[in-house]
Amino acid sequence: MAYYLALLSPSAYETFTDTLHFPAWRAQTLAALQSGDHLIAYLPALARWVGVLEVLAASQGTQVRVAPLVWLTKEQGVPLTHNRLWTALSFTRQRDKGMASAIPTLRTTLTALSETDGSLLVDFLRAYAESGQHTAYDEAAYAALLARHLTRSDGRSLIAAMPDLHDMAIEELFNSNIEARETVRVQALLADSGAKMGYTIWIPHEDRPSIFREWKPKQRPMLDSFEAFGLDTLTRETIERFDMLWLHNDQIVRAFEIEHSYSIYLGVLRAADFFSLQPQAATRVHLVAPDARRERIFQEVQRPTFSLMQPVPLRDLLTYISYDGVRDFASQTLHPFGAVALDAFAESIE
C-alpha cells in the first residue's frame, strides 16, 4: 500500500462522488497507482485535511475511482496546524506554523507520502471523525472560491467566479516574501529549456538582470525588440509584457505569464488583452505558478468578463502549469522545437 496527497479545489470537494480528476502531467504517478493505495485529501482553500480515499482500480487516463474511508465535512476537517498532527508529521514538525502555506509537500497533488506520515494521517483522521469535533471557518470567504454555473438573461450559460480583491492583496503581500527567488529560478528554467530546443527567447528587459544571474548560457538566443514585426503599438506593448516568449520563424510559439508578487489578475488580464488584440493567434499561453496558488488562478480566469469572451471563454485559451511541472518538463530529454511536449505538463482550467 502506498500513500499520496490529493489536493482538492472547493469545486472538486463539493462535487465529489467516487472519482477524482488529476492533471495530465501527473500521468507517470497516475500510472503507478494501484488498487488499495490511499489518497489523503487536503483542501488548501481551508488548509484542512478532509478525507482518506482508497483507490479502487488503476487510473483511466486522468481519472481515478476511489472509495471514501473517511470523508469529513468542512466543519469536521482537521486544520493543518492542529498541534498534535503538526508536531507529528515529518513535513510540518520542524516548521513555523505562520509559514504553513509554504510547505513544499503540500504544493503538488499526488505527492507521495511516507508510510509513516500516511498511516499517521489515516489513523488520526479516522479518530477525529469519530470524535465529532468541529472547527469554525469563514463561510463567506470559502463560498467566494466556488465557481458558479450561471445563465444570463439572453440564455447564455457560463461558469464564473468573483474573487475578493482585499483577500487577494493580502495573499500577494505574503507570497511576495517567499516566492520571489523561486519565481526567478522558474523563469530562468523556462528560458533555458526554450533555448535548448532552438527557440528564440523573449524576456522583458527589466527582468533580464535577475534572470541572467540564474541562467548563464554560452550564447543568449534573445530577441531584443519587436520593432521589426510590424505590430501596432498597443499589440506590441502587450506582447512585450509577457514574462517569457518562445519564438520560431518570427512566430510566437508559446507565451508564459509567470505569477510574480503582483496581482494574479494582472497576468490573466494580459492574456485576455493578447487574445482580444490577436483573435486568430495560434499561440499557446500558459499561466505558471506554485500549486498553492492554483485555485486563485482558476478563480481569476473564471471572472464573468473572461468567461464571456468571444468566440470562446478565456479558460479555453489558457492552461496552467505548476512550478513543479516546469521542473519536471525541464528534466526530460528536450527535442528540437519540441514545445508540444510541454502540453503533457499543463492542466486545463475548468
Contact (Cβ atoms closer than 8 angstroms) between residue 40 and residue 121: yes
Based on DSSP, count helices (H) and strands (E) in the chain, helices before strands.
12, 15
pLDDT mean over 318-346: 92
The continuous run of DSSP H or E covering 246 comes out as: strand 244-248
pLDDT mean over 162-191: 63
Sheet holding 318-322, edge to edge: 200-202, 244-248, 251-258, 284-289, 318-322, 347-348
For residues 218 and 124, what is the distance between their CA atoms, to the nearest angstrom?
A: 53
Contact (Cβ atoms closer than 8 angstroms) between residue 310 and residue 272: no
What is the domain partition of the chain in residue ranges?
3-142, 160-348
pLDDT band, very low/low/confident/very high, at 160 (cuts 50, 70, 90): low
Over residues 199-255, the pLDDT tens digits come to 999 999 998 999 999 998 888 789 999 999 988 888 899 999 999 999 999 999 999
As a whole number of Å, the CA-based R_g of the chain is 21
Cell representation of residue 12 = 472538486
- CATH no. of 3-142: 3.10.590.10
Tell me, what's the pLDDT at 225? 93
Mean pLDDT of the chain: 86
Over residues 77-130, the pLDDT tens digits come to 999 999 999 999 999 998 888 776 668 788 778 999 999 999 999 999 999 999
Give the strand pairing for 318-322 and 347-348. Answer: antiparallel
Contact (Cβ atoms closer than 8 angstroms) between residue 208 and residue 243: no
pLDDT band, very low/low/confident/very high, at 154 (cuts 50, 70, 90): low
For residues 325 and 345, what is the distance between their CA atoms, to the nearest angstrom?
A: 6
Chain-centre distance of CA 229, in angstroms?
Answer: 32
pLDDT band, very low/low/confident/very high, at 262 (cuts 50, 70, 90): low
